A and B are shown apart, each in its own frame.
Chain A
Amino acid sequence: MHELSLLKKGSAGRVVRIHGTDSISMRLLEMGLTPGVSVKMIGAALLGDPLEIELRGYHLSVRKSEASRVEVAGS
């Protein structure tokens, strides 16, 4: 189990947990980043941040700091 931000480009994982219940975590959940969902790392912007991920058939951009609240398990 590791942080979403550590997923390698092109690899996928399954969300295990989201830490926190503040508005940032709530937004991540609303966007479908719920435990159980599978996510794929598409890439990162110039300085390695933010990240582009794919989940539930669409693309989402999150910063590393936000992605670090999400724990994933390699699939």
Chain B
Amino acid sequence: MSTRPFTTVLLGNPNTGKSTLFSALVGMPTRVGNYPGVTVEEKIGRYTHREIPIDLIDLPGTYSLSPKSPDETVTVNVLFGRVPRIPSPDCVVIVADATNLERNLYLASYVLELGLPTVIALTLCDAAEKKWISIDADELSRRLGCAVVPVVATTRQGIATLREMITDAPHFPRRNKINIEQHLAAVDSIHEPAVREAIARYAWIENILDGVVSKHPSTTRSFDEQIDAALTHRLWGTLFFILTMLFVFTSIFWVATPLMELMAFGVDTIGVWLGSILPQGAVRSLVIDGMIAGVGGVVVFLPQIAMLFFFIAMLEGCGYLSRAAFLMDRLLVGVGLSGKSFIPLLSSFACAIPGIMAARTIENRRDRLLTILVAPLMSCSARLPVYLLLTGAFVPNVPVGVLWLRLPAIVLLSMYAVGVIVAATVAFVLSRTVFVGIPQPFVMELPRWRWPQAAVVLQRSYEASVSFLQNAGTLIVAVSIVVWALSNYPFDEQAIEAEISHHRIALKTQLESLRAAGQETSQTAMELTEILAAMETPEGIRAAQKGALQRQSFLGRTGRLIEPLVQPLGWDWRIGCAAIASFPAREVVLGTLGVIYNVGDVDLSKKPGENALVRRLRAATWDGTNRKVFTLPVALSIMVFFALCAQCASTLVIIGRETGSWIWPVITFTYMTTLAWLGAFATYQIGTWFMGA
């Protein structure tokens, strides 16, 4: 027997369980979800059966062999062996949904005509049984002239048989039994030829299925239908949608907070412990001021990330996403997008990269480009920690008087809203200027309702958590170390002392001149006295030294160079540096802030469970004064900046790849960064004016 691997493709309509079947056959986890467009590119996995290696290819779903969107094009190209790195298939497994055989066999009618060795896997047999649909698989097999295997991919039922059939398929050439012509002749000739062919194929299907599928229609409306009626109801459905979104975001804020405090306590404890065992010096500084300060501020948000992905996976698994897309279509058309943009945009709340890739399901190039351009404006999970930290630390925790909502939750929601509103505006403007075009179709299957599979939901949360921690352990550690190095070198003791004494003299002179003018009791004078007194304490001396070191460091010099650019946003040069360091990947910002603001505050015993980074930010003052850096308008301005800015190199790379041109990432970067600056500027100015008034 030859050992040449045997290429087998999984082909079928979207959402029929191809990826689930792929995982079951190969034993390799894949992304699955109860909506069309989860799989957008081919995935290859190998398993061995009866000593024959089999290369199984999972493909995006398609309804026919004339592709209408980029993901369907991938499928058809692989099937016809047009992709150079993939051998043309030796065997096709048609994955057909047992609850909906009629429509599933339409694609099958084309595939069977190709004459390739074919096996039909009847998936979702458990769901069919629940709907009282029974299928005579043997009879179907006889009529189609190929093996038909009923399976339940989620419980691996029928998988062993399917494996046998796949291995055997090439040895049993199929007798071609497709006879469309006979049905074609019976079609009324008033229809166009293309229409006649479709009619003939469905007539063939009806003929094949006659006596094979038996349905026992229930007299009462099924539970599914009732849920569907409520959730796609024009009024209740829309209300439910809004409440769901509110619930998801507020619960992320409130439910995960106690867990987060636990994490913060753990991080602090590790910091104190390391502080007690490491000798004074550069290593200690690197570990405590660089790594713990950097990573500690980030990992505490693990519970929130896990929860966000838990909710997303629940929504993906139950079939709600397609309903939400249905409800939102009109609104999206209004701003120049389409209902098909909904799932890519919603996925972007987790991460823009899969979101942008999911845009491949959009048939029309114009809609697709627009969706891709605005997808990075959806607040991804990397922005969540920034929002959580700043709202938690600087937004007063007061009720707003509506439902159970409190101000921090409203601010958090507003940050998500800012991204959505700006995206809508950008899409609206572009669709009426650059991307003028005709309205595009929205023909979308609404998948049946299903309980999300616990394993899939947990897997998704787990994967997101692992990758979050991995990021914290690699990228954020690395950036924290670089920032630490840049802010601690060059180290010139004399220059530091010189700066401190220079500063002290300047303050004293100022105070004396105030005294001379008889303004000893003025607020400025009091403040100056306070600062001068603080500078004499051991802690104050240490803080002053650290501050001076930072100002003279590479980072400090660069920071003060860009300060004019960020001052209108209410930021000091340190925030400016943190923002700039976050351009390659925004998730590093808290780490960077943690390292940069690690001046002075070392009192870890103050409030167990409180984030050390929060303490540092609350204590931060403008250089040489005791004016606080972080006020409410500043915190809001930072959040708005992060909500709108294109701080993710990977996203830009993916945009380039998906659009096939470098011009779109450049445009995305430019427009987002400009809007971010303007948005932050407006927020700070308006906020300051409000606070003053």
- Asked if residues A61 and B68 are in contact (CB atoms below 8 Å), the reply is no
Q: A21-B195, A50-B326 are in contact. Are A45 and B232 (CB under 8 A)?
A: yes
- Asked if residues B199 and A35 are in contact (CB atoms below 8 Å), the reply is yes
Q: How far is the CB of A19 from chain B (nearest CB, A)?
A: 9
Which B residues touch A29, using CB under 8 A? 194-195, 198-199
Chain A residue nearest to B338 in the complex (CB): A63
Which A residues touch B443, using CB under 8 A? 24, 27-28, 31, 60-62, 66
Within 8 A of B (CB), among A9-28: 17-18, 21, 23-28
Tell me if A's interface is mostly helix, strand, loop or mixed: mixed
Q: How far is the CB of A53 from chain B (nearest CB, A)?
A: 10
- Asked if residues B234 and A48 are in contact (CB atoms below 8 Å), the reply is yes
Q: Please, how many angstroms separate the alpha-carbon atoms of A63 and B439 in the complex?
A: 10
- Asked if residues B442 and A66 are in contact (CB atoms below 8 Å), the reply is yes
B28 contacts chain A at the CB level, 8 A cutoff: no
A68 contacts chain B at the CB level, 8 A cutoff: no
Which B residues touch A63, using CB under 8 A? 329, 439, 441-442
Which B residues touch A48, using CB under 8 A? 234
Q: Please, how many angstroms separate the alpha-carbon atoms of A17 and B196 in the complex?
A: 11
- Asked if residues A52 and B446 are in contact (CB atoms below 8 Å), the reply is yes
- Asked if residues B102 and A57 are in contact (CB atoms below 8 Å), the reply is yes
Within 8 A of A (CB), among B289-304: none
Within 8 A of B (CB), among A39-75: 42-50, 52, 56-63, 65-66
- Asked if residues B229 and A42 are in contact (CB atoms below 8 Å), the reply is yes
Q: How far is the CB of B449 from chain A (nearest CB, A)?
A: 10
Contact of B445 (CB < 8 Å), options: A24, A49, A59? A59
Chain A interface: which size bin?
Answer: 35 or more
Residue from B64, B235, B331, B443 whose CB has the most chain A CB atoms within 10 Å: B443
**A-B residue pair count with CB separations less than 8 angstroms:** 127
B191 contacts chain A at the CB level, 8 A cutoff: yes
Which B residues touch A18, using CB under 8 A? 195
B583 contacts chain A at the CB level, 8 A cutoff: no
Q: How far is the CB of B227 from chain A (nearest CB, A)?
A: 12
B495 contacts chain A at the CB level, 8 A cutoff: no
- Asked if residues A50 and B339 are in contact (CB atoms below 8 Å), the reply is yes
CB-CB contacts of B322-351 with A at 8 A, as 1s and 0s? 100011111100000001000000000000
Chain B residue nearest to A44 in the complex (CB): B234
Which A residues touch B311, using CB under 8 A? none
Chain B residue nearest to A51 in the complex (CB): B326
Chain B residue nearest to A23 in the complex (CB): B68
Residue from A21, A42, A60, A61 whose CB has the most chain B CB atoms within 10 Å: A61
B371 contacts chain A at the CB level, 8 A cutoff: no
B462 contacts chain A at the CB level, 8 A cutoff: no
- Asked if residues B232 and A27 are in contact (CB atoms below 8 Å), the reply is no
Contact of B68 (CB < 8 Å), options: A27, A37, A46? A27
Within 8 A of A (CB), among B430-462: 439, 441-446, 448
Q: How far is the CB of A5 from chain B (nearest CB, A)?
A: 13
Q: How far is the CB of B321 from chain A (nearest CB, A)?
A: 12
B554 contacts chain A at the CB level, 8 A cutoff: no
CB-CB contacts of B520-558 with A at 8 A, as 1s and 0s? 000000000000000000000000000000000000000
Q: Please, how many angstroms separate the alpha-carbon atoms of A9 and B284 in the complex?
A: 71
Q: Please, how many angstroms separate the alpha-carbon atoms of A47 and B237 in the complex?
A: 12
CB-CB contacts of B176-210 with A at 8 A, as 1s and 0s? 00000000000010011011001100100000000
- Asked if residues B228 and A42 are in contact (CB atoms below 8 Å), the reply is yes
- Asked if residues A21 and B192 are in contact (CB atoms below 8 Å), the reply is yes
- Asked if residues B199 and A24 are in contact (CB atoms below 8 Å), the reply is no
Q: How far is the CB of A69 from chain B (nearest CB, A)?
A: 10
A38 contacts chain B at the CB level, 8 A cutoff: no
- Asked if residues B229 and A43 are in contact (CB atoms below 8 Å), the reply is yes
Chain B residue nearest to A43 in the complex (CB): B232
Chain A residue nearest to B66 in the complex (CB): A26
Q: Please, how many angstroms separate the alpha-carbon atoms of A62 and B442 in the complex?
A: 6
- Asked if residues A60 and B100 are in contact (CB atoms below 8 Å), the reply is no
Chain B residue nearest to A37 in the complex (CB): B202
A-B contact pairs, 10 of them (CB 8 A): A17-B191, A25-B194, A30-B64, A34-B199, A47-B330, A50-B329, A56-B100, A57-B215, A60-B443, A61-B322
Given contacts A50-B326, A50-B339, 7 further A-B contacts (CB under 8 A): A21-B194, A26-B64, A26-B66, A29-B194, A43-B233, A56-B100, A56-B102
> Which residues of A approach B to under 8 Å, CB–CB?
17-18, 21, 23-32, 34-37, 42-50, 52, 56-63, 65-66
